[in-house]
């Protein structure tokens, strides 16, 4: 029975290999030439962390239940997201800035303009970053707040807008180009909740312990959004974070998973 399962690629270790092999494939970010974010750019969304939270990257939290094997490997919809430590761009953490209002590919994204964030094609199927008002059936598992996930439906539930992080500057920056690699806020258009990393809600994934991601606006005593809501649209690989040496370990693990010897790629076990 063991040998038959191994031959068919049905062992748990083989299925995990299959998932990681596909989702950790490297992706090239599109380095901006003018310092601005454009429609069609491939970016990573990074939260720089806080006093009790290390730097993290918005990532697809696909598990074995999310895996489709036939006719070709892919992830199911809906699929969860989390904030992981690995900063190297891959299918798991690369997103495409996508127009929802007819803006041309290559045109500049502007503050307060509606847009969508789409996973890469192929294994990630171009799924959209989505959220909806929480209810008794749909909410973030650990915190109970509004859930964020990937969905194959392109609807207003997958529309977002970028806001300047300083409330006193927002009116002035409205309709101005969104800068790449700088701190901003992302608000969900349908519910007006900000994309957030939960510092006190750590979830276990097959990629390691990661932070839960929700749509929730965290305000300080001055009614200003806290660093849980601060994001950077990275068009290049971020430099090493001196405050979080564990990131280097995470990158090494990531590289080992992609380069470790296999008796063939995991995809060879798929039944066509």
Burial of 256 (0-12, 13-18, 19+ CB in 10 A): exposed
Q: Which stretches of 139-196 are DSSP H helices?
A: 170-173
The confidence score (pLDDT) of residue 136 equals 82
For the domain made up of 2-256, the CATH class stated in words is mainly beta
Summarised one tens digit per residue, pLDDT across range 135-167 is 888 889 889 999 999 999 899 999 999 999 999
Beta strands per DSSP E along 206-238: 208-215, 231-234
Each residue's pLDDT expressed in tens, for the chain with a length of 272 residues: 766 666 666 666 788 999 999 999 999 998 888 999 999 999 999 999 988 889 999 999 999 999 988 888 999 999 999 999 999 999 999 999 999 999 999 999 999 999 999 999 999 999 999 999 988 888 898 899 999 999 998 999 999 999 999 999 999 999 999 999 999 999 999 999 999 999 888 999 999 999 999 999 999 999 999 999 999 999 988 777 655 444 433 433 344 444 343 434 454 434 33
Q: Could you tell me which residues come within 8 angstroms of residue 68 by beta carbon, excluding any fewer than 6 positions away?
A: 74, 75, 76
For residue 263, whether the previous peptide bond is cis, meaning omega lies within 30 degrees of 0, is: no
Query: For the chain, what are the domain ranges?
Result: 2-256
Q: Vertex 261, ends 256 and 264: CA angle to 5°?
A: 130
């Amino acid at each position: 029975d063991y040998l038959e399962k191994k031959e068919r690629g049905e062992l748990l270790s083989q299925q995990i290999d299959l998932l990681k092999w596909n989702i950790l494939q490297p992706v090239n970010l599109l380095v901006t030439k003018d310092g601005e974010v454009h429609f069609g750019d491939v970016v990573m969304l990074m939260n720089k962390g806080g006093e009790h939270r290390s730097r993290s990257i918005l990532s697809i939290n696909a598990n074995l239940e999310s895996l489709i094997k036939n006719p070709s490997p892919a992830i199911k919809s809906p699929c969860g997201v989390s904030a992981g430590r690995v900063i190297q761009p891959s299918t798991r953490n690369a997103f495409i800035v996508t127009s929802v209002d007819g803006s041309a590919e290559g045109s500049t994204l502007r503050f307060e303009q509606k847009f969508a964030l789409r996973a890469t094609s192929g294994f990630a199927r171009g799924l959209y970053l989505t959220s909806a008002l929480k209810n008794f059936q749909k909410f973030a598992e650990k915190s109970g707040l509004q859930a964020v996930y990937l969905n194959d439906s392109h609807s207003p539930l997958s529309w977002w807008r970028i806001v300047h992080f300083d409330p006193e500057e927002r009116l002035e920056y409205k309709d101005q180009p969104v800068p790449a690699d700088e701190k901003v806020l992302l608000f969900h258009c349908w519910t007006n909740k900000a994309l957030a990393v939960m510092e006190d809600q750590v979830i276990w994934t097959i990629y390691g312990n990661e932070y839960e991601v929700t749509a929730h606006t965290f305000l300080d005593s001055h009614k200003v959004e806290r660093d849980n809501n601060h994001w950077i649209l990275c068009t290049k690989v971020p430099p090493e974070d001196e405050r979080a040496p564990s990131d280097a370990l995470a990158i090494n693990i990531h590289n080992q998973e992609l380069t470790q010897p296999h008796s063939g790629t995991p995809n060879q076990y798929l039944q066509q």
